[in-house]
Structure 1
C-alpha cells in the first residue's frame, strides 16, 4: 500500500471516530435489563364484594373450640379481619381444607355449601391453603360458593390438627371439640354423604 493510500485510511478512520464522538445522544440512560413480568394488582375489597361470602362464625365467649386449634390466628376471607380459628368451630362442625389448584375441591365446596344452607346443618368452615387470598376469593365467586372461609398461608391449621397434606381434606368437629378426619368418602360428592358423615 502506498504512503498516500495509508494516509487516506488514517484520515478516514479519524473522521469516523470524530463523527461517532460528536453524534448527539439521549440524556436518558438506556435500560438494557431483561423485562420482568409485572405482578397483578388486585383490589381485594372488590373481589370480596364479588365473592359475597357469609361471615366467619364466632362462638360464645366461653366456648373455646378444638384445643389443637386454639390461638391460631388466620384471616377471615369475608372481611379480611383476623380470627382465632378455634372460635369459628365451637360446637359440632365441618372443617374443609382446599386449594385453588385442587380440582376435586371445587365440586366438594359446592356440595358443602349446599349442605350448609339446609335447616339443621352443622356449620361448615372452609380453610384455604397453598393459595393466594385473591385467587381463592375469585374462585369462590366463580363457583358461587358462599361458605364462611379463612385463609391460612402458613398452613398452621393443618399442622396443628396433624392433618395430612393431601387435598381435599375434611374433619368433623365433635361437640366435645374432637377432630375426626373424614376418610370415607375422601371427597364429598353429594349432600347425602355429608349428612351421613356428620350424623
Structure 2
C-alpha cells in the first residue's frame, strides 16, 4: 500500500513539473510578443495595412529633414540576399540600389513601422549610436509598411534624421528570411553579405555598440 502511495506522489510530481514547464514556455512567448510588434499592419485600421500608393508630398519629406541616402561608392559587393534590390529613399523618393549604396563599410539596417511601439523606443537609440559611430557604420532605417507619409510623420515626431528607405512590400524582410515581427536589425558586412539578424529591439546604445562590435568588428 505504501508503494502505491509513493507511485501516486511521484506521478503527481511529474505532472506538476510538466505544468510548470508549459507555463514557463507560455510566459516566454508572451514576453517575446510584448517586446516586438507583429507585422500585421496598422492597428488603427483593424490590422489592415495602409493601401499602397498613398500620396507622399514633398512637404512631408522636407519636414522630416532626413539625411540623404548614401550614394554608390563603387566598392565591390558579393552575392548577398539584398543584391539587386532597389528601394526608394525616404528623404527624396529617388530609387537606390541598396547593396551598391551601402557597399564599402559595415551597415545596420533597422526594419520598423510607424505603428510599432518598440520601434519608437529603439529609433532614438539608433540615432544616438549613429552619432557616436561618426560614419564608421551606416545606420539605415527601412520603413516596412505602405504608409510612407505616416512613417515620415513618426520620424519627425521622434526627431530621427537617419537616412531611410521605403519598403512597402517588405522586400528586405523577405530577402533575408526574417520573421514577420518588428523591429528587426540586419547587420551587413562591407561586401553586402548578412552578418547577423537581430530579432529583438535594442535596449541601449551600449547594447547596439556591443552587438555591432561582436558581429561586424567595429567599435563605436
Report what 2:198 is aligned to: 182
Shift of residue 133, structure 1, vs aligned partner: 1.0
Report what 1:81 is aligned to: 94
SS in structure 2 at match of 1:60: coil
Shift of residue 101, structure 1, vs aligned partner: 1.0
Shift of residue 155, structure 1, vs aligned partner: 1.3
Q: Which has the higher helix share?
A: 2
**Residue 49 in 1 paired to residue 65 in 2?**
no
**TM-score normalised per structure 2:** 0.66
> Stretches of 4+ moved more than 4 A in 1?
none
Moved more, 45-54 or 79-88: 79-88
Report what 1:33 is aligned to: none
Looking at structure 1, the residues matched to 163 and 79 of structure 2 have their Cα atoms a distance apart, in angstroms, of 18
Shift of residue 66, structure 1, vs aligned partner: 6.2
1:97 to 107, 111, 120: 111
SS in structure 2 at match of 1:117: helix
Larger radius of gyration: 1
Unaligned runs of 5+ in 1: 1-38
Looking at structure 2, the residues matched to 149 and 194 of structure 1 have their Cα atoms a distance apart, in angstroms, of 18
Looking at structure 1, the residues matched to 56 and 211 of structure 2 have their Cα atoms a distance apart, in angstroms, of 38
- The C-alpha deviation readout for 1:22-72, integer Å capped at 9, x for no partner, is xxxxxxxxxxxxxxxxx9x86611111110000111231243366211111
How many residues end up aligned between the 2 structures?
158
**Residue 70 in 1 paired to residue 86 in 2?**
no
Looking at structure 2, the residues matched to 53 and 195 of structure 1 have their Cα atoms a distance apart, in angstroms, of 23
SS in structure 1 at match of 2:180: coil
Shift of residue 100, structure 1, vs aligned partner: 0.9
Are the structure 2 counterparts of residues 122 and 62 from structure 1 closer, same or farther at C-alpha, using a change threshold of 3 Å? closer
Structure-to-structure mapping, 1:145-164, within 5 angstroms: 145-164=160-179
Unaligned runs of 5+ in 2: 1-50, 214-220
Report what 1:141 is aligned to: 156
